[in-house]
């Protein structure tokens, strides 16, 4: 492992450029039985590590929903644009060290279907699972990552690389956040019953609502109501 050179330099650069959190996992976590997403090693044959980066989203984007759907959508895009630029700089740094890096698409809905497989509505890898395995947070009943500091009010991107980076896999957190069993607010507020108390998500209902009913604007209500953040 190379914590003291590439891994450390990547983290330093990422925070200097404005990220709020970072996590790194080894490719092996996508082979575990609890992972049901697409495998990033199907994109990069020699994949060794996945870096997930995130920024918190300004509180006003949620507070003004649902009237401010246009502003919310635009704010999410701004977060995504910010992450793309930062990830690009990190990918260049990795390649200066002689390895290969590419940035997984982060543009999409809360459930990442925009660039994803249109049948499964799943992206090339789960950023949320990657972040969970890196100890960044765990899952909520809204099927989003609940980060320790910002709850689900975050945007993320991921870099795939063949560099054997120092990983930070931690498994002490429960898969589902403990607070969810006494809350269920996200399930109650969903206008199309895309979320269930059994932990099921009907991605197609969420996708249909945002792309057909809202004309491409994002919904975000299941994030707005979540009490788990420190804002
Ligand atoms: S509340 Fe909105 S964003 Fe959340 S699952 Fe339901 S339709 Fe999708
Ligand atoms: S709104 Fe409540 S049930 Fe839903 S993810 Fe947040 S804490 Fe969990």
Instruction: Dump pLDDT digits (tens) for 25-48.
Output: 999 999 998 898 889 999 999 999
Q: Which of 194, 159, 230, 155 is nearest to 11 (CA)?
A: 159
User: Which pLDDT belongs to residue 111?
Assistant: 52
Instruction: Give nearest CA residue, ligand 2 atom 7.
Output: 180
129-154 average pLDDT score: 93
Instruction: Give nearest CA residue, ligand 2 atom 1.
Output: 226
- Asked whether residue 83 is assigned to any structural domain, the reply reads yes
- Asked whether residue 9 is assigned to any structural domain, the reply reads yes
Residue 117 lies in domain: 3-168+177-224
Cβ–ligand 1 contact at 124 (below 6 Å): no
Number of folded domains that form the chain = 1
Distance 82 CA to ligand 1 centre (A): 24
**Binning pLDDT at 50, 70 and 90, where does residue 50 land?**
very high
Q: What is the pTM of this model?
A: 0.91
Q: Which of 206, 17, 188, 222 is nearest to 122 (CA)?
A: 206
More confident residue, 231 or 83: 83
Start-to-end CA distance of the chain, whole Å, equals 36
**The residue to which tokens 């925009």 are assigned:** 114
Closest atom of ligand 1 to 193 CA is: 6
Q: How far apart are CA 42 and CA 178, in angstroms?
A: 33
Distance 122 CA to ligand 2 centre (A): 22
- Asked whether residue 154 is assigned to any structural domain, the reply reads yes
- Asked whether residue 231 is assigned to any structural domain, the reply reads no
User: Which pLDDT belongs to residue 3?
Assistant: 46
- Asked whether residue 148 is assigned to any structural domain, the reply reads yes
- Asked whether residue 139 is assigned to any structural domain, the reply reads yes
* Contact call for residues 38 and 125 (beta carbons, < 8 A): yes
Q: How far apart are CA 222 and CA 63, in angstroms?
A: 12
- Asked whether residue 197 is assigned to any structural domain, the reply reads yes
Q: Report which bound ligand comes closest to the CA of 210.
A: 1
- Asked whether residue 230 is assigned to any structural domain, the reply reads no
Distance 66 CA to ligand 1 centre (A): 12
Percent above pLDDT 70 for the chain? 89
Beta strands (DSSP E) in 82-153 are 101-104, 137-139, 145-147
Count other Cβ atoms within 10 Å, centred on residue 40: 22
């Amino acid at each position: 492992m190379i914590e003291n050179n590439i891994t450390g330099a990547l983290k330093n650069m990422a925070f200097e450029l404005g990220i709020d959190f970072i996590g790194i996992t080894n490719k092996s976590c996508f082979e575990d039985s609890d992972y049901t997403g697409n495998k990033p090693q199907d994109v990069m044959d020699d994949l060794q590590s996945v870096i997930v980066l995130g920024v918190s989203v300004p509180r006003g984007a949620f507070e003004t929903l649902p009237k401010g759907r246009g502003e919310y959508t635009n704010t999410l895009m701004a977060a995504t644009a910010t992450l793309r630029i930062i990830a690009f700089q990190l990918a260049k740094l990795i390649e200066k060290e002689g390895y290969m890096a590419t940035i997984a698409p982060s543009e999409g809905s809360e459930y990442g279907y925009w660039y994803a497989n249109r049948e499964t509505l799943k992206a090339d890898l789960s950023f949320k699972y990657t972040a969970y395995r890196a100890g960044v947070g765990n899952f909520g009943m809204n099927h989003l990552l609940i980060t320790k500091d910002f709850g689900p009010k975050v945007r993320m991107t991921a870099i795939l690389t063949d560099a054997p980076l120092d990983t930070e896999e931690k498994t002490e957190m429960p898969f589902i956040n403990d607070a969810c069993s006494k809350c269920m607010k996200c399930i109650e507020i969903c206008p199309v019953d895309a979320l269930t108390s059994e932990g099921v998500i009907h991605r197609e209902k969420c996708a249909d609502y945002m792309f057909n009913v809202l004309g491409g604007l994002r919904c975000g209500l299941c994030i707005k109501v979540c009490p788990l953040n420190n804002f």
